[in-house]
Amino acid sequence: MIKIACVVGARPNFMKIAPILEAMKAYPEIIPLLVHTGQHYDFEMSQVFFNQLDIPEPQVNLGVGSESHAVQTAKIMLGFEKVVSHHKPDYILVVGDVNSTIACALVGVKMGVPVIHIEAGIRSGDKTMPEEINRVLTDHVSALLLTPTVFACDNLKREGITKNVYLVGDVMVDTLLNHKDKASNSGIKDTLSINGEDYCLMTLHRASNVDDKVNLSCIIDAVDYIQRQIVVVLPLHPRTKAKLVQFKLNDKLSSMRKVIITEPLGYLECLNLMMGCKFVLTDSGGMQTETTVLNIPCLTMRTNTERPETLMQGTNTLVGTQWITQDAQKILDGNGKQGSYPKVWDGHTAERIAGIISKL
């Protein structure tokens, strides 16, 4: 029997762990222990994903809540160390690059429990991003590294990591393909009164954008330009909401006639809107992958990406904060970028992951 402590903590983790837990059911020798650190904890950012993706209730919830990066990471480590001591897992499985990922990976390696990293090897090259630090450090303490692309394998090789590296694909694609039909039945367009209308789906949360008043002002100006032509649907992240108020930009955004601001949306609602939109405007990592698979133009408000395959093969374009309107206009004029995606993004990543783990 193989006991695996499977760690989740924040919204991006939930989409990744769901198909893995499902695939593990094919192997009775694998005993998953689902641990939720509570990094994201309210309904919109956590529980709705458990409900919509049929993720079982976690056996352990550390309930750490929102803190600074240092305090949050420390609290997770303190709580997870007790979990490892009590449950004695054979392996610790972490996904992605959030604080929960590095915190639990560090606990594992220090306690002599091998770490499995899902989504290993992705790199943006931008060490000002907390996620970049988390993913690099996690890879360098992991015993088994499961990568989404050939690019990720090459990144690990350049860093001297060649042992126990497997190309498995992107597990988020599994979740997307498994839930497209269900998402298509969502009534979110009726709820927002945009059925039959062209619209842009926008998400905005990254610190480099929302914590900088100049950058955030540029983005809001670009939104104003876009909404004069089509509707902009903006599910508002709590961090972004607070910064809009702090920088006195909230009234300007709220006054825009064709901007629809909502609370954070569930996975199915967001996927429904993504599938039907004219284009996506985002600073998210995962949406770059999802839009590429859906062949939806994506404008990424960053100057770098850890998913270069979405630029080289797919529909993604980096626009920073200065080129948003220029590239948005190209799409509105019918010149949106078309693309393809890696063959290994076939919806069977979780099955490959479970198969590898079963042989440990």
CA atoms within 13 A on the CB side of 111: 23
Whether the Cβ atoms of residue 108 and residue 85 lie closer than 8 Å to each other: no
Q: Rounded distance, CA 233 to CA 199, Å?
A: 7
Reference 354, options 74, 220, 166; nearest CA is: 166
Q: Which residues pair with 78 in a beta bridge?
A: none
Please report, for residues 80, 272, 307, the alpha-carbon distance to residue 151 in angstroms, rounded to integers and kept in the order given. Answer: 32, 29, 8
How is the chain split among helix, strand and coil, in percent rounded to 5?
45, 15, 40
SS3 342: coil
- Positions marked catalytic: 205
- Please list, in sequence order, all residues whose beta carbon lies within 8 angstroms of the beta carbon of residue 350, skipping any fewer than 6 positions away: 19, 20, 22, 23, 171, 174
DSSP β-bridge partners for residue 95: 118
Q: Which run of H or E residues covers position 75?
A: helix 69-87
Nearest one of 226, 287, 291 to 259, comparing CA atoms: 226
8 A C-beta contact, residue 233 and residue 197: no
**CA–CA separation, 268 vs 265, rounded Å?**
8
DSSP assignment, residue 62? -
Please, which residues have CB within 8 angstroms of residue 36's CB and are 6 or more apart in sequence? 8, 9, 46, 58, 60, 61, 62
**What are the residues facing 299 on neighbouring strands?**
281, 317
Could you identify the residue written with the tokens 């498994």? 178
